Structure 1
Amino acid sequence: MPKEPFSTQDTASAGRTVARGMHYLAWIVLLAMLTVYFNDFVGEQRNPNQHLNYVEAGSGEVVLARNRAGHYVAPGWINGQPVTFLLDTGATRVSVPETLAARLGLRRGAEHKTMTANGVISVYATELDRVQLGGIELRAVPASINPFMPDETVLLGMSFMQHLELVQRDGELTLSIPR
């Protein structure tokens, strides 16, 4: 016997297919929303100072919150380009990863040896025209291009911070230009 064009069996099968598709779509949307939420959550845990991107230079002071690992991480600018800083009072100079230095157009200067936690390495001298962290901007900051740094986080060393007053209290670090 020939099959009718729209049997109840075909309608039920189509309904199950649509329901299954909607179920998968709901899971995909839920997973996408959770991914966005947790990416923001993890980013905020690593860098609780993300709001500094919106502070203009000139105020001469910045207050940073310590992240969960106990570090001070903050967005900033080198020669007008956005970067992420990790404050490092143990670093003599600002240390820029080589891949980031190339993108910023920094020139390699003289090679010199420096001591790191992993031993002695060769780095290259350079000078940063402008370095901005929140409301603080300094010019002609000595720096090093480091070919061994694995990511694009800049170590903000003492060649920048030596010009500032630093006060640490209750999980916050206040940096200011001395008056």
Structure 2
Amino acid sequence: MGSDSEDRGHAHRSGVKGASEIVDVEDAHLPGERRTRSLARRGLWGILAFWLAVMGVLYVAMDHFLKPRGASVTAEGALVIPRHRDGHFRVAGTVNGQPVMFMVDTGASLVSVTDALASKAGLSGGERTQFRTANGTREGRVVAADSVTVRSLAVSGLRVGTGYTGDDEEDALLGQNFLQHFDVEIGRDRMVLRPRG
């Protein structure tokens, strides 16, 4: 009788012990799962940080790539415009005192500006006309400007076309009616505008 009771007690204790072992085994897995989740989260943050760094480097590289290199003026007063990486010659200037970024276009008859810049520069009125461009025809006006400058070079009283569609409102074309006042030399990687003596 006593041994039967002892066996039951032993079995009861074993059962309890077995159950607690099962609970302990399950508990042992929880910290591991948490650790795995934590590592996964850290991995995701690491991947995100990596791609943000890559995007930052690409942004800086593209900004450097797209920014025109500066023009320089020689001791003789010639303007040297380096060729931009996109193959065009770009140079900062002004139209009636308003800052613009000119793209030199030897095939354009006139200096041309956007409507937004024309408004800022006080270029109003003028005769309505249609301009033929490489991208088709566009409507605009031809207006007299007080001054067009590119660094040290300036021409007064030029006719300026409006309605140019650049990427930015400060974009403009530097056409032949400005260029014809200078001796123009075009090389592989630079353009030189020399004042006529």
* TM-score when normalising by structure 2: 0.67
Q: Could you tell me whether the CA contact under 8 Å between 2:82 and 2:189 is conserved in 1?
A: yes
Whole-Å separation in 2 of the counterparts to 1:113 and 1:91: 13
Higher Rg: 2
TM-superposition CA deviations, 1:54-94 (whole Å, max 9, x none): x68xx742112234565322222223332121222332221
Percent of counterpart pairs with the same letter?
Answer: 26
Query: Does the C-alpha gap of structure 1 residues 26 and 110 become closer, same or farther in structure 2, counting only changes over 3 Å?
Result: same
TM-superposition CA deviations, 1:82-122 (whole Å, max 9, x none): 21212223322212222332343421312235544466654
State the SS of the aligned residue for 1:107.
coil
State the SS of the aligned residue for 1:51.
coil
TM-superposition CA deviations, 1:109-136 (whole Å, max 9, x none): 1223554446665431212223221321
After superposition, residues 159-174 of structure 1 pair within 5 angstroms as: 159-174=177-192
Whole-Å separation in 2 of the counterparts to 1:68 and 1:16: 43
- Aligned: 1:145 with 2:169: no
Whole-Å separation in 2 of the counterparts to 1:101 and 1:123: 11
Q: Could you tell me whether the CA contact under 8 Å between 1:136 and 1:176 is conserved in 2?
A: no
What letter corresponds to residue 60 of structure 2 in structure 1? Answer: V
Gaps of at least 5 residues in structure 1 are none
Q: Could you tell me whether the CA contact under 8 Å between 1:166 and 1:176 is conserved in 2?
A: yes
Query: Does the C-alpha gap of structure 1 residues 35 and 133 become closer, same or farther in structure 2, counting only changes over 3 Å?
Result: same
What root-mean-square deviation, in Å, do the aligned CA atoms of Structure 1 and Structure 2 show?
A: 3.2
Whole-Å separation in 2 of the counterparts to 1:144 and 1:151: 17
Gaps of at least 5 residues in structure 2 are 1-22
Q: Give the structure with the higher percent strand.
A: 1
Residue 146 of structure 1: CA displacement? Answer: 2.5
Whole-Å separation in 1 of the counterparts to 2:112 and 2:174: 7
TM-superposition CA deviations, 1:24-70 (whole Å, max 9, x none): 212222222223213322x15xx4xx313xx68xx742112234565
What letter corresponds to residue 161 of structure 1 in structure 2? Answer: L
- Aligned: 1:156 with 2:174: yes
Query: When the two structures are aligned, how many residues end up with a matched partner?
Result: 168
State the SS of the aligned residue for 1:123.
strand
Q: Structure with the greater relative contact order (CA < 8 A, sep ≥ 6): 1 or 2? A: 1
2:94 aligned partner = 77
- Aligned: 1:133 with 2:186: no
- Aligned: 1:17 with 2:34: no
In structure 2, which of residues 58, 65, 70 is the aligned counterpart of residue 34 of structure 1? 58
